[in-house]
Amino acid sequence: MTASVSAKPETRNRAEIPAEYKWDFTPIYASWEAWEAGIKDMEAKMDAFPALKGTLSGGPDAVVKAYQLFDEIGQLQYRVFRYPQLQRDVDMRNNEIGGKLQRVQAIFAKFGTATSWFTPELLTIPQATMEKWIAETPALAPYKFPILDNYRQQEHVLDEKGERLLSFASRFSQVPRETFQELSTSDIKFPTVTLSDGKEVKLSPGAYQHVLQTNRNQADRKLAFETYHKTYEANINTYAAIYNGVLQRDWFSAQARNYPTTLDAALDGNAIPKAVVENLIATTRAGTEPFRRYMRLRKKLLGLETYNPFDNAIPIYDVEKKYPYELATELALKSVEPLGAEYVEKYKKFVSGGRIDVYENEGKRSGAYCAGVYGVGPYLLLNHNDTLDSVFTFAHEAGHAMHTVLSYESQPFVTSDYTIFVAEVASTTNERFLLEQFLATTTDPKERFVLLQHAVDAIVGTFYTQVMFADYELQAHRLVEEGKPVTAEVLSGIYKQLLKDYYGDAANIEELYRVTWARIPHFFNSPYYVYQYATCFASSAQIFKTLTTGSAEEKKAATERYLTLLRSGGNDHPMEQLKKAGVDLTKKETVQAVVEQMNELVAQLEAEAAKIK
């Protein structure tokens, strides 16, 4: 390795962490004074927008003027939102910045109501007339896809009064999510347990996960599981009432916009056929055996008499190898060389400084994400801790960052924002490149086992678990669509049966597992979202295969198709974008390929385990 390798700073004091490992906010705004000026500029443009009401039928120039003003406002929205949002996330304790973020959110909600007239008025223009205007007006060309997509969804757009009425509900619609967050963070009282070594642990979410991931005493893991989830069980009727609010809100919105089901409403925005979700669930349900095979292997290698889902997180083998941040970046850069010199150069530029917040500090939010700012580029948050997992996390998030870089470079603002449906393709493809590089350079059976296990665990977490979650959401939403009761007993019964359906005889599903749906944020925060993790995983598996197999010419053509996908932003419906890259998610074979990949990886795990003494 040629990169200098420095150890993770011991400090958690942000002021003591070197600047090269922290975000530079000045490309967004030079100061809070500049941010205030940006808000004033944005609000002035927002105030000017309602004056365009009644002008759209006047001709193509009027439509261009409205869309260009939308663009100007949208680009300012990115900046005025990200500037406080990113700074809040590196110190969640700063209430002043939190207040500034709330101020921005309130302005956005007000603007949503002020623009409710726009789409209904646009759709009073006959589609044939609009298509003629687009063909004859070069300035309208960048807006062709979003404009015509409005016509595609025309039957679900209400008149101006209806759209205005629905816009008033935008803040109200967030109440179930906010209630869940308060109950699960602000008001929850996490219990303390005494483990077998006499150590007392307060089971916050992070501490609970730490016990599951590091404590090799199954009795301790069981105690932690039971004690932690009894906290949720104690409030299970409240969680059920909150989730009923989510379900009723979604059903209200679907009916208001003339959709037959909540699933139709959730998918139509991106023109996703229902067959995609239905095929995903059906094929995964029929393909649970490799998942169960892995659970049985874990049980055997861990030497357990009974196996439980709370045993999923404990590593089978410990490998103490450290991966400092500089090494992680070098490994990730090396792994994506098959994507070409231009991609690698852009990657190097991104990691060169100011755009990645690397290390944990007091008050910083947990996890990792990539956040774009159009006209500036992506910002990447990490909490790098020198583990193998943190290397893969970097590769994953940097995959998102490079998707953003290529999209911003290639697309005008209006089509620069790619959908969630394709977002995870870039990140999981980069993870797969990293895995293949590790396997190609690692001969130690234990290290190879750990690497393969990482890949298998990714399929468990990103594919099987997310499909099970999607299965649950679909069944829960059908309760309200069919006018059936939504109670804690009903919801918990659905979830327990799903666990039995997916795990089969490979794990012991204790009675308390029936309440674990209550702690899953996606159910409350973003319904019908999680299935996209699984479809993206299936898509990236197929794309990676085309990138790395066949003749040199075939691989070159596949690489160009893939980079075209990353450059395409949101310029088409995601299913069409993926088809151009060679993926059809309506086909059973696309999903079945992940099941087969899981089976092959578990077989490799078994082979490597046999070599370990």
Mean pLDDT of 429-440: 94
Judge whether residue 453 has pLDDT over 70. yes
For 207-231, how does the pLDDT look when each residue is reduced to its tens digit (9 = 90+)?
888 899 889 999 999 999 999 999 9
- What is the model's pLDDT at position 8? 66
Q: Tokens standing for 46? A: 């927002």
For residue 377, the surrounding DSSP H or E stretch is strand 377-381
- How many C-beta neighbours within 10 Å does residue 398 have? 29
Whole-number pLDDT of residue 495: 98
pLDDT over 80 (residue 546): yes
Helix (H) or strand (E) holding 381: strand 377-381
User: Quick one: tokens of 192?
Assistant: 């303390």
- List the beta bridge partners of residue 108: none
pLDDT of residue 7: 56
H or E element in which residue 196 lies:
none
Q: Please give the average per-residue pLDDT across 114-139, as a whole number.
A: 95
Segment 341-396, tens digit of pLDDT: 999 999 999 999 899 999 988 888 888 999 999 999 999 999 998 988 899 999 99
Q: CB–CB of 251/471 below 8 Å?
A: no
- pLDDT, one tens digit per residue, over 23-32 is 999 999 999 9
In the chain, where are the structural domains located?
A: 31-170
pLDDT range class, residue 595, cuts 50, 70, 90: very high
Average pLDDT on 579-589 reads 92
Residue 1 has pLDDT above 70, yes or no: no
Q: Is the pLDDT of residue 568 over 60?
A: yes
Percent of the residues in the chain that have a pLDDT greater than 90, as a whole number: 80
Please state, in angstroms and rounded to a whole number, the distance separating the CA atoms of residues 117 and 128. 21
Q: Are 516 and 229 in contact (CB under 8 A)?
A: yes
Answer whether residue 54 shows pLDDT above 90.
yes
Gyration radius of the chain's alpha carbons: 25
446, containing H or E segment: helix 445-459
| Nearest partner of 278 among 534, 14, 559, 106, judged by Cα | 534
Mean pLDDT value of segment 461-469: 95
Residue whose structure tokens are 């209430």: 95
* Three-state DSSP state, 202: strand
- Angstrom distance (rounded) from CA 244 to CA 479: 10
Listed range (10-14, 118-122, 289-293, 483-487) with the worst mean pLDDT: 10-14
Q: Which residues are catalytic?
A: 397
Distances from the Cα of 147 to the Cα of 133, 137, 143, 415, 574, angstroms: 11, 14, 6, 11, 16
Range from 37-41, 441-445, 473-477 carrying the lowest mean pLDDT: 441-445
Work out the mean pLDDT of the chain and round it to a whole number.
93
Query: Between the CA of residue 484 and those of 477, 479, 541, what are the distances in Å?
Result: 10, 5, 39
Q: Alpha-carbon distance 454 to 460, whole Å?
A: 10
Confidence label for 2 from pLDDT (cuts 50, 70 and 90): very low
CB half-sphere exposure, 326, CA atoms < 13 A: 10
Q: How far is CA 462 from CA 43, 140, 572, in A?
A: 40, 39, 25
CB atoms within 10 A of CB 2: 4
Q: How confident is the model at residue 187 (pLDDT cuts 50, 70, 90)?
A: confident
For the domain covering 31-170, report its CATH number: 1.20.140.70
3-state secondary structure of 532: helix
pLDDT category at 93 given cuts 50, 70, 90 is confident
Q: What value, to the nearest 5°, has the Cα angle with vertex 201 and ends 465 and 488?
A: 45
Strands of the sheet containing 377-381, edge to edge, are 356-357, 377-381, 369-373
Rounded Cα gap, residues 25 and 21, in angstroms: 13
254-288: pLDDT as tens digits: 999 999 999 999 999 899 999 999 999 999 999 99
pLDDT of residue 326 exceeding 70, the answer is yes
Instruction: Using the predicted structure, report yes or no on whether residue 42 has a pLDDT greater than 90.
Output: yes
H or E element in which residue 317 lies: none
